[in-house]
Chain A
Amino acid sequence: MDIAGRSDVGRVRGNNEDSFKLLPELNLFVLSDGMGGEAHGEVASALAVETITQHCLEASKNPGLPMEGEPRLDLSEKSNRLLSAVRIANRKIYDQAQADASKKGMGATVVAVWVDGERMCVAHVGDSRAYLLRAGDLQQLTEDHSLVAEQVRRGILTRQQADQSKNQSVLLRALGIDETVDADGAEHVLIDGDVVVLCSDGLDRMVTDPEIASAILTSGGSESTVERLIELALENGGEDNVTVVVLRVQKVHDGFLLRLWRWLNGPLDEDS
């Protein structure tokens, strides 16, 4: 996998409340957009990415690490671990916000993916997004937990009205607001040539889906894709912090003969 990520403060804001962390050793990638007065948005988003990556790292060494929340039987263990990490992050942010009056209202969105072979686990809360570009077609994998997205789902607003709405910043779910959080989890299969993009709303509010798709298709690697997407967000106004993580799934040779060869060589591999 070819992985890159970058965060930019944008052209309007004085501070960057986004955080992200890439753990290529686990194939775990987490992005969070914080909110709250003073510098508390930064605190919340940093706490989210740290807590999630830490919990997953610990779990990779100690699979018996207790999980938080009800397990989802329709999802793999890794997805459940990731959801557990998101719930723990929620509790940590909530506890900090409750303990310190000045941090009241502090919160964060999160989108996290954990790639496990051909399986990709996606967990998210809020309006940070995961996109998949496959066969030239861009698809948003996550459903925004925002008021306008809910209104679109219910047929109250059209997508176009939603894009112009002044209510775009109203979230229905976020980390740190309530004692528990309802985190969305899903699993997808990855194939050769897939490109996954994680972003904060500073990208998708500035750059349209077709622009995102064409930027991915015309950039060579993940690094240049990230640069191009951030450049577009800034060109179109850069009204918010913008953070982009790109994963390009490169050719995984798992044809029949290769699998046979691996199978024949399996025991040798374990010895070495």
Chain B
Amino acid sequence: MKLILKFEETTLKEIGLGERPVSIGRGPDNDIHIDNLAVSTHHAKIYKDAGRVIIEDLNSLNGTFMNNQRITKSFLKMGDKILIGKHHIMLDDTISGDAPVAAPKVSAPKIQETVMLDAKARKALLDQALAAQAAGGGTAAPAAGAPRAGGTAVQPPVPPRVKVPTLAVIAGKTDQPEYQLTGKLIVIGKSDMATIKLRGWFKPKVAAQITKRDDGFYIGKGDKVPSVNGIPITGPTRLNEGDIIEIAGVKMNFNFRE
């Protein structure tokens, strides 16, 4: 939650509204300092009380206006326009507005200040996120890396089908006939740390690699240039179901297994 100070259309300042009141005035000791003679030294203050935001005029000479009405004390909501002298102040309460998740009441964070959630708050928040997802009919399958936090995180609702990306070896020497792709970076090569281990002399340590991104799995070159469906790739290439990958004498089929 923050306050935005504007002069005409220009944003001059943004200030977080936490538990401490925010003071507004011409005096330099104010949190929002407005250098204009129409503004009293200590003109007004904005503070939180029982979860609501209140604006209070401090007997200023020229007054505090909310939505074109002079006020002495009032609740302040999103969208309300406060006028002090020639400056506007608005409340930005979008902490939860962009996501279908209510902000955690336990620790309403100030903008830009990192907050951490303890186990209880984390569970509450994830519960809300999941409820929102269920209500909104979220489509994506839960990520393989769903929270494992100390046994406190909630489990995703049982998905109808979990699709696991898989590479099945069609031809060539590898250490397994089939590989499930987990992790952010999957290496195909001779290295001990390669997920897909190539066998044989003169095979490269890292022949190619598959990376997991938001929108799917991409194959990229390493020491060799892999082909997808017979065409050598020119850059990281997104894999589609059924694609045939060829690299260093090994041929594999990319698929999602249930």
Contacts and interface: CB of A to CB of B under 8 A. Distances in A.
Contacts of B185: 132, 139, 141, 186, 188
Given A154-B138, A166-B94, A191-B205, A174 B184 contact: no
Given A154-B142, A167-B95, A186 B184 contact: yes
Given A35-B114, A161-B98, A169-B113, A150 B149 contact: no
A169 B109 CA distance: 8
A160 to B, nearest CB: 10
A189 B148 contact: no
Contacts of B140: 154-155
B50 interface: no
Contact of A172 (B149, B193, B221, B222): B149
B149 A151 contact: no
A189 B187 contact: yes
Contacts of A169: 109, 111-115
Interface residues of B, number: 62
Given A189-B191, A191-B223, A170 B97 contact: no
A42 B198 CA distance: 46
B112 to A, nearest CB: 6
A177 B116 contact: yes
Nearest to A188: B185
B220 A239 contact: no
Contacts of A33: 114
Contacts of B147: 150, 172
Contact of A171 (B111, B114, B138, B184): B114
Contact of A170 (B115, B184, B189, B236): B115
A232 to B, nearest CB: 19
Contact of B118 (A154, A155, A177, A191): A177
B71 interface: no
Interface in B150-200: 150, 153, 156, 183-185, 187, 189, 191-194
Question: What is the predominant secondary structure among interface residues of chain B facing chain A?
Answer: loop
B28 interface: no
B214 A156 contact: no
B236 A182 contact: no
Interface in A139-184: 139-143, 147-148, 150-159, 161, 164-167, 169-174, 177-178, 180-182
B99 A157 contact: yes
B30 interface: no
B220 to A, nearest CB: 5
A135 interface: yes
Contact of B206 (A107, A189, A239): A189
Contacts of B95: 166-167
A171 B129 contact: no
Contacts of A239: 112
A8 interface: no
Interface in A98-157: 105, 107, 118-119, 132, 134-137, 139-143, 147-148, 150-157
A134 B95 CA distance: 37
Contacts of A107: 116
A118 B191 contact: yes
B180 to A, nearest CB: 13
Contacts of B142: 153-154
Interface string B125-155: 1100110110010111111011111100100
Report, nearest first, the 7 A-B pairs whose CB atoms are least far apart.
Answer: A155-B140, A153-B143, A189-B191, A174-B116, A189-B193, A169-B114, A35-B114
Interface of B: 94-101, 103-104, 109, 111-119, 122, 125-126, 129-130, 132-133, 136, 138-143, 145-150, 153, 156, 183-185, 187, 189, 191-194, 205-206, 209, 211, 214, 220-223, 235-236
22 contacts: A134-B220, A135-B222, A150-B147, A151-B99, A153-B143, A154-B156, A155-B141, A156-B99, A165-B99, A166-B96, A167-B101, A169-B114, A170-B109, A170-B117, A171-B114, A171-B115, A177-B116, A180-B150, A182-B150, A187-B193, A188-B185, A189-B194
